[in-house]
Copies of this chain bind each other. A is one copy, B any other.
Amino acid sequence: MPGFSFDVVSRDGRARAGLLRTPHGEVETPAFMPVGTAGAVKAILHRDLREMGARIILANTYHLMLRPGDGLVARLGGLHGFTGWDAPFLTDSGGYQVFSLAALRRLDEEGVRFQSHIDGTPHLLSPERSMEIQQNLGADVVMAFDECPPGDAPREAVAEATYRTTRWARRSRAAHRREDQWLFGIVQGGVHLDLRETSARDLVEIGFPGYAIGGLSVGEPREGRKRVLAHLDPLLPEDKPRYLMGVGTPEDLIDSVARGVDMFDCVLPTRNARNGQLFTSRGRLAIRNARFKEDPRPPDPACACPTCRTVSRAYLRHLHLANEMGAATLMSVHNLFSYLDMMRAMRQSIRLCRFAEWRRDTLRRLADGPDGP
């Protein structure tokens, strides 16, 4: 498709460093995508995202179809025009949120009927409607409509969702028209390796320019997730990007890149920032903790972000306890910077064929705790 390409530029073990090109700019992989649910990353201005090196953000189809409405977004120039974020966007399919947020869901082969969690109005999400919405929103990368069963669903339910996801993927591809968007299929199948395998083979047969891995980070054990990723790695085309949806902690990202994943999104860095939890190069730091009351050090002395360059743990703790919005902004900036910086370091280690060493050192440091070993 014009304007799009993906190239794996280096490999180290199963880890890959690549380059995704889109009509709104390039994204080096492995990439982390900050989550901008309603068309804005919470508590952070676009300018700060750009300065910290964010190259692509995710927006949620479910939220935007309900408010402000995808028609309105389209009339105001799509997500890029409406929000002013002129780098790449990715939208999810709405599938995950409709199962986790919406009230009174009724699922059948056509799609999902539900009531808005905002005002109770009735809506339908189907492969065709999801494509219509995502074409209205105008992201660079869009997702096929999928069914994402909960992590504790019985095998029977996961199997049914997996087969339906494949049928919906076919309908999604048929309904998708925009040439300036890349449509990814979503592999489902829970922690069942045979279902994952069927799902991957079926989707690859349909043929997509990229593959998302859904239905993980929904409560399954971490070991189960690692097995799924290792199993999928040889089943997914080497030359196409793989996007692990909704994952995860810094350790999760490292472990998943080691199993061939290229793209991630997760609310963890921003949501935890608003709750006062900082991701540092030595693990997590809860800013409310009384031991930081008079601590003049920056959140992470090893971090070069605007927050760590200018404020102390004591000041951040004060702002957080006083419910000052600035606390959410300062900590969100730090957490996202810290994620993006780790991705930069990870890409470099792959290019230098030192990923295993970098991974060992980084995981060891993350286990030290914020006050050092």
Contact = CB atoms under 8 A, between A and B. Distances in A.
Contact of A76 (B294, B310, B328): B294
Interface in A68-111: 68, 72, 75-77, 82-84
A44 B326 contact: yes
B76 A326 contact: no
A355 to B, nearest CB: 35
Given A75-B294, A325-B325, A329-B325, A83 B315 contact: yes
Interface stretch (A35-43, A165-173, A224-232, A276-284): A35-43
This chain's copy number in the assembly:
2
A153 interface: no
A49 to B, nearest CB: 11
Interface stretch (A19-27, A316-324, A338-346): A316-324
Nearest to A327: B40
B321 A67 contact: yes
Contacts of A296: 76-77
A339 B45 CA distance: 21
A348 B83 CA distance: 35
Nearest to A71: B294
A138 to B, nearest CB: 14
18 contacts: A38-B318, A38-B319, A38-B324, A39-B318, A39-B319, A40-B326, A42-B325, A42-B326, A43-B329, A44-B326, A46-B310, A47-B310, A72-B314, A77-B296, A82-B315, A84-B311, A84-B315, A325-B328
Given A325-B328, A330-B45, A315 B39 contact: yes
A270 to B, nearest CB: 10
A240 interface: no
A301 interface: no
A326 B84 contact: no
A293 interface: yes
A45 B326 contact: yes
Nearest to A325: B43
A3 interface: no
Contacts of A47: 306, 310
A312 interface: yes
A358 to B, nearest CB: 32
Interface string A41-62: 1111111000000000000000
Contacts of A310: 46-47, 84
A84 B311 CA distance: 6
A38 B306 CA distance: 21
Given A82-B315, A310-B46, A72 B325 contact: no
A160 to B, nearest CB: 34
Nearest to A46: B310
Contacts of A306: 47
Contact of A314 (B82, B294, B318, B330): B82
Nearest to A68: B318
A45 B84 contact: no
B76 A312 contact: yes
Interface in A260-307: 293-294, 296, 306
Contacts of A311: 83-84
Per CB-CB distance, the 3 closest pairs between chain A and chain B, nearest first, are: A68-B318, A43-B325, A38-B322
